[in-house]
Structure 1
Amino acid sequence: MISEAGAQDRWTEDPSEPEIPLLGGDVTEGVVRVGTTVRRPMGRNAAFIHALLRHLEAVGFEGAPRYLGVDSAGREVLTFVEGEVAGRPHPAWIADEARLASIGRLLRGYDDAAATFVAPEGIELELPADPPGLPPAPTYADEVIGHLDVTPENVVFRDATAYALIDFDLVRPATRVDELYNAMLWWAPLNEPRDVGPGLRGLDAPKRCRILADAYGMSDRDRGRLVEVAVLRTRRSWHLMKYRAETDGGGWRRMWDEGVGEIIKRREAWLERNGAEIEAALKAP
């Protein structure tokens, strides 16, 4: 499989460069660094993602890898983004509020750039059908092609400032509230305290939500929608994770076997208990 540009996408190999495995992801396996490039297996939406990355480059958004082509092994070739990533276990700096605010600014820049993306003719995003029994989604109209995977492992920092987003495998139409909920989920974080890693444990999650919202420039309308969207997305997440574990296996199955389903259920209960406090922090003068 190659992208929509066909043979023009073929990447010229340098056989002298070694492959260095890049670890830390939950699902995608086989990601390696080769010189100044990253090689990744291509998924079913590779052509769409490549077109999105080309668009981001064309509009001048610097905070994403560049798509370079396809190598002889059929892997996509991306630029390697130099910088600092919060691997596991997470470093102490993951709690830094200045870094947190910079994530909000980076995400706003990405969303503004992605909002003007139109997929080329003949390239469509293939999304899986909803599994039976999936709870309803929020009813708000999509606004951007969301990244929706702003985990600590997918944000590259330079000079203690969020510089780039990586791993675009989960992109899809979304609202800006969806994007901010996803970022808050990982960086506030929005989870039952027992499920929070040491680097983020014991922090003021509502305050951190406010920091992200202010840095992003979240609208008053969206601040009023955040908790509702968080609860609905969490309910859907349990069903979707279970379905992907059963149908796709691999990393999805591993995460499910390790208890992600129970974590999501505890998150839903935590959001329902603490939603009013989060909304108050978001709306406070």
Structure 2
Amino acid sequence: MTETHLPGGFVNAVVRVGDTVRRPPARRAAFVHDLLGLFERAGWPGAPRFLGSDERGREILSYVDGHVAWEEVQPDAVASDESLARVAELVREFHDLTAGTPPAGDGEVVCHNDLSPKNTVYRDEGSGLRPVAFIDWDIAGPGRRIHDVAHVCWQYAALRPGAEPGAAARRVRVICDAYGLAERGEVVETVLWWQDRCRRGIEADAAAGLPHAVRLRADGVVAQVRAAHDWVTQHRADLERALA
């Protein structure tokens, strides 16, 4: 069958074949396959299904139809309050599904650890584009709920230079309210932790010669993350006031 390259990925070559997606297995593929199986057994539609491996050793995943928001400029509906709230609700759903399960181990839940519009499938089912599923679960693992919530705040509320602080703080509040996050004192600190961790990780992997990290560094991603960290630090009081 014809293979069609799917754009947006930095690490893996991902192709569509019919109603499936084929991609090289990641380092922790067995964990991810177990996690996707848990979602399938629970009937949760917010992630692809793992369907096995093909003759080339690539993972076979179900293709989730819709709009993946991987480009910088997106329709307004992607960043609407309704979409932000639905993202947070989807995160709460898979967190609740994984709490106390073997994949969560000693963690509160299983975290996706890379939630962003680029890893989100949106569909218009009558009220504009809304998130319906998350893709690219390669670095999922046990963690705390706030880890994913803070990552959502960073990526979906666009906490970076150019954002208007008051509007960004309101979007962070929308996310935390929709998730139902009770304890919010660590949210901004965890955003800063993610940004620092991301920058250091890219720098270390690029120094080690890993191709995806070299490309990210060449594309200016390290500088962008550092600037986002500086922006959050500068406007920390505005963000925390919105969550008080």
What is the TM-score of this pair, normalised by structure 2? 0.91
Secondary structure of residue in 2 paired with 1:150: coil
Any stretches of 5+ residues in structure 1 without a counterpart?
1-16, 125-140, 194-200
2:157 aligned with 1:188? yes
Any stretches of 5+ residues in structure 2 without a counterpart?
none
The one-letter amino acid of 1:246's match is A
Residue 172 of structure 2 is matched in structure 1 by 209
Residue 121 of structure 2 is matched in structure 1 by 156
2:67 aligned with 1:73? no
1:115 to 90, 99, 107: 99
User: Hey, which bits of structure 1, 4+ residues long, moved more than 4 A?
Assistant: none
For 2:149 and 2:122, how far apart are their aligned partners in 1?
19
Quote the sequence identity (%): 35
Does the CA-based 8 Å contact 1:31-1:40 persist in structure 2? yes
Does the CA-based 8 Å contact 1:52-1:117 persist in structure 2? no
What is the TM-score of this pair, normalised by structure 1? 0.78
Does the CA-based 8 Å contact 2:153-2:191 persist in structure 1? no
For 2:132 and 2:222, how far apart are their aligned partners in 1?
32
Higher relative contact order at CA 8 Å, sep ≥6: structure 1 or structure 2?
A: 1
For 2:110 and 2:209, how far apart are their aligned partners in 1?
23
Cα RMSD (Å): 1.9
Stretch of structure 1 that moved more, 230-239 or 63-72: 230-239
Query: Over residues 115-162 of structure 1, what are the superposed CA-to-partner deviations in whole Å (9 max), with x where a residue is unaligned?
Result: 243149xxx9xxxxxxxxxxxxxxxx8411210211112111222221
Residue 8 of structure 2 is matched in structure 1 by 24
Stretch of structure 1 that moved more, 274-283 or 240-249: 240-249
Change (3 A) 1:107 1:271: same
Secondary structure of residue in 2 paired with 1:224: coil
Secondary structure of residue in 1 paired with 2:45: coil
Residue 231 of structure 1 is matched in structure 2 by 192
Residue 225 of structure 2 is matched in structure 1 by 264
Matches within 5 A, 1:240-259: 240-247=201-208, 249-259=210-220
Q: CA deviation at 1:202?
A: 4.8
